């Protein structure tokens, strides 16, 4: 098989449907006992890789995740969606709060080189920290071209046509392989992992590594000063008629009387 | 006997299509009858695969469990409820090549739903052992064998590693997932081949641990099949399956 080898990064984040609460110390959010799942943009990245494999353009899909033991659940989900093997970079709980996109991109760069991949597919950002940095930094470290915010990826001979979601429209660029792609929301709709595929995923290989295996030290370059809830909306009031609404608006100074 | 009763349930069209209901977990201590009942409740008989002449109780898109989370399943690791692509091509190969199996004693390792064993019994193997270490698989194999009117002997002990001259033929469907297990299997099969000249047939849809192993040079391709539509859809990226015969030099 001579198809592309694809590495997909999968972050475990608080589930998108969960209402996030700020910790009492205001230095983070409550994660204990909260439902987690794969970052939705990373799910899109896994889906895109699987579609490339289904089209026989890719030969092997490797998924990687950096974080605590529970990240293996995230990797199993990716395997159930159709990835071939998984690498878990185990970051102990005490170090996890210091893990930032720079570390993840260094780790992914090492894995990309070791696995001799042609494409790294990542979500454009994680829905927890909204950093939008890992893909870009990874491309810089590897010195590979990048196609960010992809809403369409078409394989050409030795390159990719990537359609990007930019302000006010779409931009299509051609980038040479190897390359880094980050996915936007409209790239695809990820498939559901059925029970039989979850079962099959259990038989697929999952390797655990440490950041030190890749020579990466998890040391924070910034300090979190505070995490705040968004301002709470105050209760509104109902008005009976348009006249009453206009009167109220005038009263509040939003309209000229 | 319990099996007859379950068969009459089957004939009357019950089973499958039900809510998860009682979520009892099945331990190996429970008897076969209880396991068979649970299998009938949570699976449907399917012929939508490469060997439609053999009906099999499987978890299909029509079953509630298809979209269930793992923790909702009353069965731990129901690998036997999936008709694996490697198993499908192996079973097709057996049905298509009765001369290779007729009259011989056959062992189906990691039998799962029992399809390959059932096929071997159908084409006239003298004796068939379906081996799986999961008690639920054993119950499923018994149900499936009875449903297809064949006799297979079930064995739940782990036979991998046992070298035995009773097995003229050994078949395995889709067993080459990870490198460690592959190595154990290959050592054992090579030994079995060398010592007793067993015929070893492997069904595999192109899984990398098998493709990448040096043993590949000792495998002769004896069958190649396009996977049916549903199987392709359920096994993202796989379109074909192969049957290999292990061909080691006897020393």
| pLDDT band of B21, cuts 50, 70, 90 | very low
Interchain proximity A1–B82, CB inside 8 Å: no
Which residue in A80, A203, A208 has the most chain B C-beta atoms within 10 A of its own C-beta, making it the best mutation to test that interface?
A203
| pLDDT band of A236, cuts 50, 70, 90 | confident
Which residue in B70, B237, B238 has the most chain A C-beta atoms within 10 A of its own C-beta, making it the best mutation to test that interface?
B237
Please tell me the predicted confidence (pLDDT) of residue B26.
42
Comparison of pLDDT for A171 and B26, the residue scoring more: A171
* Mean pLDDT within A163-172: 94
ipTM score here?
0.71
Is the pLDDT confidence value at B90 over 70?
yes
Is the pLDDT confidence value at B237 over 80?
no
Alpha-carbon torsion angle A36, A39, A40, A41, nearest 10: 180
| pLDDT band of B20, cuts 50, 70, 90 | very low
Comparison of pLDDT for A255 and B102, the residue scoring more: B102
* Mean pLDDT within A94-100: 90
Interchain proximity B177–A197, CB inside 8 Å: no
Residues of A in contact with B208 (CB under 8 A): 60, 84-85
Comparison of pLDDT for B7 and B133, the residue scoring more: B133
Please tell me the predicted confidence (pLDDT) of residue B5.
39
Please tell me the predicted confidence (pLDDT) of residue B18.
31
| pLDDT band of B30, cuts 50, 70, 90 | low
Residue written as token pair 């348009």: A242
| pLDDT band of A221, cuts 50, 70, 90 | confident
Whether B78 and chain A come into contact, CB under 8 Å, resolves to: yes
For residues A191 and A49, what is the distance between their CA atoms, to the nearest angstrom?
A: 12
The closest CB to that of B236, out of A54, A60, A199, belongs to: A54
Q: What is the DSSP string of B25-62?
A: PPPTTS-HHHHHHHHHHH-EEE--SS-TTS-EEE--TT
Q: What is the DSSP string of chain A?
A: ---EEEEEE--EEE-TTSPP-B-TTSSSB--TT--EEE-HHHHHHHHHHHHHHHTTSEEEEEEEEEESTTHHHHHHHHHHHT-SEEEEEE--HHHHTT--HHHHHHHHHHHHHHTT-SEEEEESS-TTT----HHHHHHHHHT--EEEEEEEEEEETTEEEEEEEETTEEEEEEEESSEEEEE-GGG--PPP--HHHHHHHTTS-EEEE-GGGGT-----SS------PPPPPPP----SSHHHHHHHHHHTTSS--
Interchain proximity A60–B208, CB inside 8 Å: yes
* Mean pLDDT within B9-23: 35
* Mean pLDDT within B237-246: 90
Is the pLDDT confidence value at B251 over 90?
no
| pLDDT band of B138, cuts 50, 70, 90 | very high
| pLDDT band of A231, cuts 50, 70, 90 | confident
* Chains A–B, number of C-beta pairs less than 8 Å apart: 59
Please report which helix (H) or strand (E) contains residue B201, including its range. Answer: strand B199-204
* Mean pLDDT within B120-147: 97
User: What distance in Å separates residue B117's CA from the closest CA in chain A?
Assistant: 21
Interchain proximity A53–B236, CB inside 8 Å: yes
Please tell me the predicted confidence (pLDDT) of residue A35.
92
Which residue in B236, B239, B242 has the most chain A C-beta atoms within 10 A of its own C-beta, making it the best mutation to test that interface?
B236
Is the pLDDT confidence value at B11 over 60?
no
Whether B73 and chain A come into contact, CB under 8 Å, resolves to: yes
| pLDDT band of B214, cuts 50, 70, 90 | confident
Is the pLDDT confidence value at B245 over 90?
yes
| Tens-digit pLDDT profile for residues A3-40 | 899 999 999 999 999 999 999 999 999 998 999 999 99
Please tell me the predicted confidence (pLDDT) of residue B71.
86
Whether A50 and chain B come into contact, CB under 8 Å, resolves to: yes
User: What distance in Å separates residue A36's CA from the closest CA in chain B?
Assistant: 15
Nearest CA in chain B to A60: B208
Domains within chain A, CATH numbers bracketed: 4-227 (3.40.50.620)
For residues B118 and A1, what is the distance between their CA atoms, to the nearest angstrom?
A: 33
Is the pLDDT confidence value at B249 over 70?
no
* Mean pLDDT within B1-26: 37
User: What is the share, in percent, of chain B residues with pLDDT greater than 70?
Assistant: 87
CA proximity to B37, closest of B136, B117, B111: B136
For residues B99 and B95, what is the distance between their CA atoms, to the nearest angstrom?
A: 10
For residues A58 and A51, what is the distance between their CA atoms, to the nearest angstrom?
A: 9
Nearest CA in chain A to B65: A195
Interchain proximity A50–B178, CB inside 8 Å: no
Q: Which stretches of chain B are DSSP H helices?
A: 2-11, 32-42, 85-96, 115-122, 135-147, 179-196, 208-211, 229-234
User: What distance in Å separates residue B8's CA from the closest CA in chain A?
Assistant: 27
Please tell me the predicted confidence (pLDDT) of residue B124.
96
Interchain proximity A204–B66, CB inside 8 Å: no
Please tell me the predicted confidence (pLDDT) of residue A244.
92
Mean pLDDT of chain A: 93
The closest CB to that of B178, out of A60, A196, A205, belongs to: A205
* Mean pLDDT within B76-81: 93
Whether B208 and chain A come into contact, CB under 8 Å, resolves to: yes
- Residue A178: is the preceding peptide bond cis (ω within 30°)? yes
For residues B251 and B236, what is the distance between their CA atoms, to the nearest angstrom?
A: 41
């Amino acid at each position: 098989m001579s198809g592309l080898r694809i590495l997909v990064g999968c972050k475990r984040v608080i589930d998108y449907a969960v209402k996030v609460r700020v910790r009492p110390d205001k230095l983070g959010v409550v994660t204990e006992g909260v439902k987690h799942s794969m970052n939705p943009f990373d799910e899109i990245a896994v889906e895109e890789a699987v579609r490339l494999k289904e089209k026989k353009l890719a030969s092997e899909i490797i998924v990687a995740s950096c974080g605590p033991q529970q990240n293996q659940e995230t990797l199993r989900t990716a395997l159930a969606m159709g990835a071939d093997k998984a690498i878990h970079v185990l970051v102990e709980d005490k170090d996890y709060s210091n893990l930032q996109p720079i570390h993840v991109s260094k780790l992914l760069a090492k894995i990309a080189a070791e696995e001799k991949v042609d494409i790294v597919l990542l979500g454009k950002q994680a829905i927890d920290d909204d950093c939008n940095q890992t893909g870009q930094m990874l491309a810089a470290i590897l010195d590979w071209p990048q196609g960010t915010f992809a809403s369409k990826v078409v394989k050409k001979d030795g390159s990719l046509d990537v359609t990007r979601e930019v302000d006010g429209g779409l931009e299509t660029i051609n980038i040479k392989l190897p390359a880094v792609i980050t996915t936007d929301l409209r790239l695809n709709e990820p498939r559901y992992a059925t029970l039989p595929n979850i079962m099959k995923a259990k038989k697929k290989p999952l390797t655990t590594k440490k950041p030190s295996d890749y020579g990466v030290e998890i040391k924070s370059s910034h300090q979190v000063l505070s995490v705040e809830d968004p301002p709470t909306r105050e209760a509104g009031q109902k008005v009976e008629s348009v006249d009453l609404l206009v009167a109220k608006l005038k009263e509040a100074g939003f309209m000229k009387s | 006997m319990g099996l007859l009763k379950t068969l009459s349930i089957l004939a009357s069209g019950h089973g499958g299509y039900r809510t998860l209901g009682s979520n009892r977990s099945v331990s190996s201590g429970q008897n076969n009858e209880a396991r068979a009942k649970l299998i009938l409740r949570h699976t449907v008989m399917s012929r939508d695969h490469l060997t439609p002449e053999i009906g099999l109780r499987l978890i299909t898109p029509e079953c509630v469990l298809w979209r269930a989370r793992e923790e909702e399943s009353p069965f731990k690791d129901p690998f036997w409820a999936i008709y694996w692509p490697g198993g499908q091509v192996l079973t097709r190969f057996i049905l298509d090549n009765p001369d290779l199996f007729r009259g011989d004693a056959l062992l189906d390792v990691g039998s799962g739903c029992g399809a390959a064993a059932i096929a071997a019994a159908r084409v006239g193997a003298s004796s068939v052992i379906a081996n799986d270490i999961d008690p639920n698989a054993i119950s499923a194999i018994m149900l499936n064998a009875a449903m297809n009117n064949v006799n297979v002997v079930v064995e739940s002990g782990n036979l991998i590693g046992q070298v035995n001259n009773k097995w003229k033929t050994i078949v395995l469907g889709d067993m080459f997932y990870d490198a460690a297990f592959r190595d154990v299997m290959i050592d054992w099969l090579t030994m079995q081949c060398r010592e007793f000249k067993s015929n070893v047939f492997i069904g595999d849809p192109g899984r990398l641990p098998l493709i990448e192993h040096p043993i590949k040079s000792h495998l002769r391709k004896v069958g190649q099949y396009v996977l049916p539509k549903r199987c392709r859809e359920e096994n993202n990226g796989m379109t074909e399956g192969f049957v290999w015969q292990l061909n080691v030099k006897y020393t």
